[in-house]
Amino acid sequence: MTYVNLTCPPPLQYQQITLAHGGGGRLMKQLQGNIIQPVFNNPILNQQHDSAILNINGAKLAFTTDSYVIKPLFFPGGDIGKLAVCGTLNDLAMSGAKPLYLSCAFIIEEGFPIADLQRIVASMQHTAEQAGVQIVTGDTKVVDHGNGDGVFINTAGIGVLAGQTDISPIQIQVGDHIIINSDLARHGMAIMLAREGMAFDSTIESDCSDVSGLVQDLIEAGVPIHCLRDLTRGGLASALIELATTSRHAIEINETALPVHADVQSACEVLGFDPLYIANEGCFALFVPEQATAQALNVLRGHTLGKQAAVIGKVKATHDKGLLTLQTAMGVNRVLDLLSGEQLPRIC
């Protein structure tokens, strides 16, 4: 089979941080892999999962943290507060953990409206209550006017693993089917249109949501999950490239199977964006054995956040280990590579 590889030359080495270093693409991987991870190197960190799995006195806990610097702070379908809670809950869920507790730290710019902060805090509490978790500790810092861009939020989360606890990239196997629970690219495009004040015939709303309940449904139903990954910064393509590299397996996805809403697809075409690389905040990829596909789809489609669940690809037996390919609608297989940075910065 002949592949069309449309990759760019490796980027030059940078002496200073750029926005692209935080975008989920090649530059962020280089920053983490060359500067940060070698210094913090330890077996738990090297799991390279959305959460660290900790064994404490016989109990298995998942621990994760994330920071949110989105612009604008309020957008169709959510706000920075809802995003911060959902994002951390989802990171815990990707390890199979049931979320229990969250922390919250605010970095607030001098002059930020109290009414907006109250709105954000209320949104966080409402989202946490719906998920059955508590925000139990936190911190607040204020920085000089002009140095904070409104408000930044950091959240950390702790969850407990019960039952299946071996959900990780190293469990991916040849023959696995890849399922996603929802449509692609809505979050990134909602942010882009809100940021630029652009309007289309219909309002595109972010898919920002907590998927931990849906993941628990899969686990309780006994679906043999090999791996889970939420499709945030860098979108579907970046997440699957990372998983292919970590697992040293080849992954192929089918363009015609990818669920993208018509209004999102139209916005991407007008603005020149590729929906495969645009962030989602309520969509994840699920790797299961082929024989468990029907069971997984049945569970997913029985939940509000899984109605659009679809099989989009598979893990292949090939010598091209660590490669992600897209079978296009024209039947051509195209190699997908990491972008240098992010098509849309500041989206989470």
| Residues 34, 43: Cα–Cα separation, whole Å | 17
- Residue 181 · residue 308 · CB < 8 Å: yes
The confidence score (pLDDT) of residue 342 equals 64
Instruction: Give residue limits of the domains in the chain.
Output: 3-8+166-336, 46-160
- DSSP for 58-81? TEEEEEEEEEE--SSSEETTEEHH
Q: Residue 5 — pLDDT band, cuts 50, 70, 90? A: low
Tokens of 229: 């990954």
- Residue 210 · residue 131 · CB < 8 Å: yes
Tokens of 145: 């006017």
Average pLDDT over residues 166-182: 95
| Residues 341, 21: Cα–Cα separation, whole Å | 6
Output DSSP code: residue 202.
Answer: S
Q: Kindly report the CATH class assigned to 3-8+166-336.
A: alpha beta
Average pLDDT over residues 154-181: 92
Query: How many other C-beta atoms can be found within 10 angstroms of the C-beta atom of residue 109?
Result: 16
Q: Residue 10 — pLDDT band, cuts 50, 70, 90? A: very low
Q: Residue 33 — pLDDT band, cuts 50, 70, 90? A: confident
| Residues 307, 320: Cα–Cα separation, whole Å | 33
Q: Residue 341 — pLDDT band, cuts 50, 70, 90? A: low
Domain 46-160 fold is 60s Ribosomal Protein L30; Chain: A; (3.30.1330)
Q: Residue 164 — pLDDT band, cuts 50, 70, 90? A: low
Q: Residue 3 — pLDDT band, cuts 50, 70, 90? A: very low
The confidence score (pLDDT) of residue 152 equals 98
CA-to-CA separations, 335 to 80, 93, 329, in angstroms, rounded = 34, 29, 14
Cα 207 to chain centroid distance, Å, stands at: 12
| Residues 271, 304: Cα–Cα separation, whole Å | 30
| Residues 26, 245: Cα–Cα separation, whole Å | 13
Query: Angle at which helices 293-301 and 212-220 pack, to 10 degrees?
Result: 130
pLDDT > 70? residue 180: yes
Q: Residue 265 — pLDDT band, cuts 50, 70, 90? A: very high
- Residue 339 · residue 28 · CB < 8 Å: no
Determine the 3-state secondary structure of 217 from DSSP.
Answer: helix
In this structure, which amino acid lies at residue 193?
Answer: L
Tokens of 333: 């297989």
What pairing do the DSSP bridges indicate for beta strands 324-327 and 250-254? parallel
Q: What are the two backbone dihedrals, phi and then psi, of residue 103, each rounded to the nearest 5 degrees?
A: -110, 165
Output DSSP code: residue 111.
Answer: T
Q: What sections of 197-314 are H helices per DSSP? A: 212-220, 235-247, 262-271, 293-301
Average pLDDT over residues 260-265: 95
- DSSP for 26-64? HHHHHIIIIIIHHHH--TTGGG-SSSEEEEETTEEEEEE
Enumerate residues 6+ apart whose C-beta is below 8 A from 241.
Answer: 324, 336, 337, 338
Q: Residue 157 — pLDDT band, cuts 50, 70, 90? A: very high
Query: How many other C-beta atoms can be found within 10 angstroms of the C-beta atom of residue 330?
Result: 7
Residue of 107, 118, 51 lying closest to 79 (CA atoms): 118
Arithmetic mean of pLDDT over the chain: 91
